[in-house]
Amino acid sequence: MTDIRRTLEEGVMTRFQWVAVAICVMLIMLDGFDVLVMAFTASSVAAEWKLNGAQLGLLFSAGLFGMAAGSLFVAPVADRIGRQPVILLCLIVIAAGMLLSGLAQSHMQLVGLRGLTGVGIGGMLASVGIITAEYSSLKWRSTAVALQATGYPIGATLGGLVAAWLLQHYGWRSVFVFGGLATAVMIPIVLWRLPESVDFLIARRPAHALDKLNRILGFMGHSRLQQLPERAAAGVAAAQGNAVAGLFKNGLARPTLMLWSAFFLLMFSVYFSLSWTPKLLVQAGLSAQQGVTGGVLINLGGIVGGSLFGALAVRVRLVHLTVGAFLIYAVFTALFGAVSGALGLAFAAAFGMGVFLFASMAGLYAFAPVTYPAAVRTTGLGWAIGIGRIGAILAPLIAGMLLDGGWQPASLYYAYALPLVAGALAVLAIGTGRTAPGQSRPAAAH
């Protein structure tokens, strides 16, 4: 395994590897659209069913609850049966959930279907992140992960343009149907060109592992193997034990807990910003169209932030980039609260929030693949995302209840900036943790 891993890490990335990364970016775009679909249809749904703030918060959080369940309980299955099969299964679930959401006849039906869709999204994300990291060279890994994270705001932005047109002409149900059809299109693309993880094939050795490995090596222009390489001792132990328990062995306990804390704190602030900003801008006195524009600007900023992070990741240490992104995101979040009633300043602050929101996210996604051995890698990222989704679930619910209790939008943004400072401290602690054999330390990643 060492020779293959060294070849992937130190060699020039082939077109096959870049295509795999590109497909992963497209899959992450689905996550961006999935959050957007509820944020931008919220006003129409609330008007049709006469929902209050707490009910709307539940609708926002239902999908996030499903994502948490998918990350915690579906994603680890990929460490046993493979990354690609889990991604395919999750795509089927997402497509079905989105299409059925367009047929929902009540608030609670939509809540249940949002939860189902979320299970698919959450189950898929960790595998996508791991494949991106494993098929990237050491030089380009943080950049590739940043590009993957950029898929989120790209999906949200393009989806927002489509959603605005569909809302105007066909109503909110058509937006969900569009999302379901777009997801279904990805199924044959994944079957066609998204490879199974090389590290998984060697660490877990499923049926026909050697044939699958040689096929992948052939696509990358490498020689065929006569037999599977030997597994590292740490990989053998991890493969034989409980995957979740493996996240706390061999010096991984502290980086695991710090990674969980950082994901929780970041997602708590992120999903407040993404879910509530369009509606809170309207509540602050802007028009409905200006509220939608504010939400789009966050995602446009995210495209810039993810791209900027990817460019800087080749030269700057990962831990420094990520901590800096957390802290500047906190500043822009508080600033947005202060200027949300002034159109130009609010739009500028929303763009700045987006830049550093997605840069922070790109940084965290880059940590897990270089921290865990292959046999528990998807479990490690899946549980980190799952813990983060718990924060994402709580954030919109708490915001809805605070608004119903009389809080002003500006005060909410001040409050939701504080967890980002604590998250920056957790990132610093991750940077000193143990890394998986053959991987670079997060603190020194380039």
Among 187, 166, 210, 10, CA closest to 95: 187
Query: Which residue's entry shows tokens 């999906």?
Result: 155
Q: For residue range 297-325, what is the model confidence (pLDDT) as tens digits?
A: 887 898 898 888 888 887 888 889 999 99
- The model carries a pTM of 0.81
pLDDT value of position 234? 47
Q: How far apart are CA 285 and CA 301, in angstroms?
A: 23
Q: For the chain, which ranges sit under pLDDT 50? A: 1, 234-237, 432-446
Over the chain, what HEC string results?
CHHHHHHHHHCCCCHHHHHHHHHHHHHHHHHHHHHHHHHHHHHHHHHHHCCCHHHHHHHHHHHHHHHHHHHHHHHHHHHHHCHHHHHHHHHHHHHHHHHHHCCCCCHHHHHHHHHHHHHHHHHHHHHHHHHHHHCCCCCCHHHHHHHHHHHHHHHHHHHHHHHHHHHHHHCHHHHHHHHHHHHHHHHHHHHHHCCCCHHHHHHHCCCCHHHHHHHHHHHCCCCCCCCCCCCCHHHHHHHHCCCCHHHHCCCCHHHHHHHHHHHHHHHHHHHHHHHHHHHHHHHCCCCHHHHHHHHHHHHHHHHHHHHHHHHHCCCCCHHHHHHHHHHHHHHHHHHHHHHCCCHHHHHHHHHHHHHHHHHHHHHHHHHHHHCCCHHHHHHHHHHHHHHHHHHHHHHHHHHHHHHHCCCCHHHHHHHHHHHHHHHHHHHHHHCCCCCCCCCCCHHHCC
User: First-to-last CA distance in the chain?
Assistant: 22
pLDDT value of position 38? 83
Q: Are 414 and 349 in contact (CB under 8 A)?
A: no
Among 187, 174, 201, CA closest to 89: 187
Tell whether domain 2-444 is in CATH 1.20.1250.20.
Answer: yes
- Domain definitions of the chain by residue range: 2-444
pLDDT value of position 443? 37
Q: Are 263 and 391 in contact (CB under 8 A)?
A: yes
